Each structure stands twice: as structure tokens, then as C-alpha cells.
Chains A and B, each alone.
Chain A
Amino acid sequence: DAKTTQPPSMDCAEGRAANLPCNHSTISGNEYVYWYRQIHSQGPQYIIHGLKNNETNEMASLIITEDRKSSTLILPHATLRDTAVYYCIVSREQNFVFGPGTRLSVLP
């Protein structure tokens, strides 16, 4: 079973920030938080990952709470092409356990 809990779906207006939450209350000290997304009919695509500190790259920001029991992926200016299923994964190894993810719909 996946070690994360995510809402099944979310909507976001185009141009606004999309904030996708993830709960991982049983995370271990050496487990990383990874975010991937999957656009329809494609393979998953890496977005960002972190251990303890907040992270930012050209795609998104990752905010991890101090107790590491939850995190939020932020897409600062969502576009229609960001419509996808977003997966939050916690792992210390690379044999990822994917849950059902959050289906984000960016609306015009």
C-alpha cells in the first residue's frame, strides 16, 4: 500500500497557483518525498523531491512541514498543460509505491 494520502481530484484556474497536498504521517527519517506527474497516455514525469528542506526548481516548489508528516507541491502559475495526475511518493529506495494520486484539472 502507498504510504501517502492525497485528495483524488482538484481544480485550479489557469494562471493561479495550484497547491497539491500530501499526507505522509508514517514517513521515516531517511525517506525522501518525491513528486511525479502523469499526463494522459504518457509515462510519469519527475517534478521535484526533498528530504527536510523546502525545494524549488523551474517547475514547482515543494514545502515540507517541520515534522515531515505532510507536504505541499506548488505550481506557481498553472497552465492548461499542467492538467495531469500528480503522485506524491515517499521512499528511501527507488522501487516507488505509487498511490492513485491527485487528478488536477486546470480550467481556462
Chain B
Amino acid sequence: GAGVSQTPSNKVTEKGKYVELRCDPISGHTALYWYRQSLGQGPEFLIYFQGTGAADDSGLPNDRFFAVRPEGSVSTLKIQRTERGDSAVYLCASSPQGLNPNNEQFFGPGTRLTVL
């Protein structure tokens, strides 16, 4: 079946611009996660949705970052006034039930964001 998909696969933008990154989770998965990964490092947690609501947004670095999941499936990560330090691979993952530690997270291929 279809896995987690993310679009675009690559995004190049200029400093100060606004970007949106999209994640399509596996159908039926209620939990959705966003991570970002800088070169040579492990993924860094950003935000976790259970259904439509953000259950944990403690990883968002500042108020330029915002994410939504209005209908409980597709999610959009929004970054305002991008900075060069935002350049990274943004990963999305989904799992059947976020509160069940026995559920594995299924990761998408990521969106590579480059801020010039």
C-alpha cells in the first residue's frame, strides 16, 4: 500500500520568504509527526498531531514555525520569514495510534529545504 508521501521533494527559497511543506500520511493513521534533520545529525522532533489537534508542539523552534492538520489526515508545515538556518530535511511520519508505544512510526522520504 501507499506509504507516507511528502511534497515537494526539494524546495529552494530565498531568505525571508514563506514556505509550506505538505505531508500525506498513511490512510487511517491518526497520529502524525514532523521532524527536521540537519546534515550529519539525527532527526529532531518538531510537533505531533493526534487527529486534528497538536498534542505536543514543544519541538517547534520559534513562532515562525506552524503546522496544521485541519481534517485529521494531510498536514502542512508552514515556515514564515525563512532563515538560512532553517535549511534541513523535513521529515513526516505517521502511526496508527500515537499514544500506543507499540506502534511504529512510518516515515516519509522528506522534503529538502534550502534557504539561500
Tell me the bound Cα distance from A91 to B98 in angstroms: 13
Q: Does B41 contact A (CB under 8 A)?
A: yes
B84 to chain A, nearest CB (A): 22
A95 touching B56 by the CB < 8 A rule? yes
Tell me the bound Cα distance from A97 to B37 in angstroms: 12
B105 touching A96 by the CB < 8 A rule? yes
Interface-side segment among A11-19, A42-50, A63-71, A74-82: A42-50
A32 to chain B, nearest CB (A): 5
B20-35 interface bits toward A, Cβ cutoff 8 Å, 1 = contact, 0 = none: 0000000000010101
Interface residues on B, range: 20 to 34
Tell me which residues across on chain A come within 8 A of B33, comparing CB atoms. 94-95
Interface residues on A, range: 20 to 34
A36-73 interface bits toward B, Cβ cutoff 8 Å, 1 = contact, 0 = none: 10000111111001000000000000000000000000
Tell me which residues across on chain A come within 8 A of B1, comparing CB atoms. none
Tell me which residues across on chain B come within 8 A of A44, comparing CB atoms. 43, 91, 93, 105, 107
For the residues of B in contact with A, the DSSP-based class is loop
Tell me which residues across on chain B come within 8 A of A42, comparing CB atoms. 109
Tell me the bound Cα distance from A87 to B107 in angstroms: 14
Tell me the bound Cα distance from A41 to B42 in angstroms: 13
Q: Does A107 contact B (CB under 8 A)?
A: no
Q: Does B102 contact A (CB under 8 A)?
A: yes
Tell me which residues across on chain B come within 8 A of A87, comparing CB atoms. 42
| Chain A residues at the B interface, C-beta cutoff of 8 Å | 2, 32, 36, 41-46, 49, 85, 87, 91-101
18 A/B residue pairs, CB under 8 Å, sorted by A: A2-B42, A32-B101, A43-B91, A43-B107, A44-B91, A44-B107, A49-B102, A93-B56, A94-B33, A94-B95, A94-B105, A95-B33, A95-B48, A95-B56, A95-B58, A98-B43, A98-B44, A99-B42
